[in-house]
Amino acid sequence: MQTIQQSFKIEYNYSVFFTEYLFDHSNTLLADFFKKFSEEGFQRKALVVVDEGFAAHHPGLADQIRTYFAAAVPNIQLAADIIMVPGGEASKNDPELFNKLAQAVDTYGIDRHSFVIGIGGGAVLDLVGYAAAVSHRGIKLIRIPTTVLSQNDSGVGVKNGINFHGKKNFLGTFAPPVAVFNDLTFLRTLDDRDWRGGIAEAIKVSLIKDQAFFEWIEEKATALANRDEAAMSYLIHRCAEMHTDHIAGGDPFEFGSSRPLDFGHWAAHKLEYLTDFQVRHGEAVAIGIALDCVYSEKVGKLPESDLNRILDVLNKLGFELYHPKLAENDKINLRNGLQEFREHLGGRLTIMLLDKIGKGVEVHELDADIISQSVDYLESSKIIHTL
């Protein structure tokens, strides 16, 4: 018997657009995008799914979307209902929400040549992206992120997923969007926690890849904490650029165990669960970054002066860098997060630490005693902020 050896490549292309007042009648960016999909005699459709927390701050959003499409995008037929789903991690924990979206795809005849448009924070976009990716084996996805975290990180990437049996992102897909639209004005209604939380991902990527970007964040920390839009606009664009460059130049579907963009995330994922998601993702990532930086210093990699600079920036931005759940049960709960992270990666454990600001280094084991010492360090040096 002869073996058939199959090999093929698929090229993915998508744009991340930056704009303001996306659904204003004078803004033609979205309409111009859809013009590329106009075919005579062929009706494409779109199902819009909105984070209900975001919608609550924008009560006229649904009508604005309908008006915009009716006037500027006549070649796309909107589904009769705009679907609302809860925001935050709750959207990824309830399987009925996935069922609701799959049912809507069926009810409104959203086929593979049509679109699912997700509007919301990162968790909602993960849910919507997963539903789009598995319905009909893949419906075109448009992401419209509405938080700092989703505009500079999760919303511009290729991953989608929901949680399952207490495991974060246990069910998911690698399915790139066809476009991402970042609207700076959508960030104005964020509370201070969510404004600040997304900055953690920018700090993460700067620490492992770009010393100059970290130094810019260091310089602008006070302005960013005070909600300076010009500073935030640059931060989001640079962070999104670095994330998309990494995806294009590395291992976009994560076939290997190396995931440098998960710096600080092994502890962050566990802390989110241990606090029942009372600690939000960006806040957990800030703590995870601090923990791994302290660990890096304790094992002789990161200079103490660099550690102090990193912790100082995180403190200036208003992050809490310790939570009692880190030490709970003699820190066994936290250390269990390492095994869960290993399972999620597949293969051997691969954790990113720091050699210096701007240079990450991968290791394949962490010492439990030094993890404990690092937690104790954060507890002893904690600065309490009012969330």
The domain that contains 325 carries what CATH number?
Answer: 1.20.1090.10
pLDDT value at residue 254? 65
Domain count, the chain: 2
Structural contact between residues 232 and 224, judged by C-beta atoms closer than 8 angstroms: yes
| Burial of 127: CB neighbours in 10 Å, binned 0-12, 13-18, 19+ | buried
Strand, coil or helix: what is 356?
strand
pLDDT value at residue 383? 60
pLDDT value at residue 387? 39
Residue 374 resides in a domain: yes
Give the contacts of 2 (CB within 8 A, at least 6 positions apart): none
Same domain, 264 and 153: no
Same domain, 70 and 213: no
- Give the residue numbers spanning the domain of 40: 15-189
Residue 7 resides in a domain: no
Same domain, 257 and 317: yes
For residue 99, give the amino acid letter: N
Nearest to 203 by CA among 163, 247, 165, 242: 242
Mean pLDDT by 10 residues, the chain (387 residues): 89 93 96 86 90 95 95 92 93 94 96 96 96 96 96 91 86 94 97 94 94 98 96 96 84 62 88 90 95 96 96 96 91 82 73 94 91 94 56
Same domain, 184 and 207: no
Strand, coil or helix: what is 140?
strand
Same domain, 134 and 264: no
pLDDT value at residue 256? 54
pLDDT value at residue 258? 54
Give the contacts of 5 (CB within 8 A, at least 6 positions apart): none
pLDDT value at residue 178? 96
Residue 146 resides in a domain: yes
Residue 10 resides in a domain: no
Same domain, 136 and 150: yes
Same domain, 212 and 315: yes
Same domain, 141 and 276: no
Same domain, 235 and 174: no
What are the tokens at 148? 């700092």
Cα–Cα distance measured from residue 227 to residue 377, given in angstroms and rounded to the nearest whole number: 30
CATH of the domain at 94: 3.40.50.1970
Choose one of 160, 189, 218: the last residue of a domain. Answer: 189
pLDDT value at residue 385? 46
Same domain, 155 and 242: no
What are the tokens at 49? 């799914």
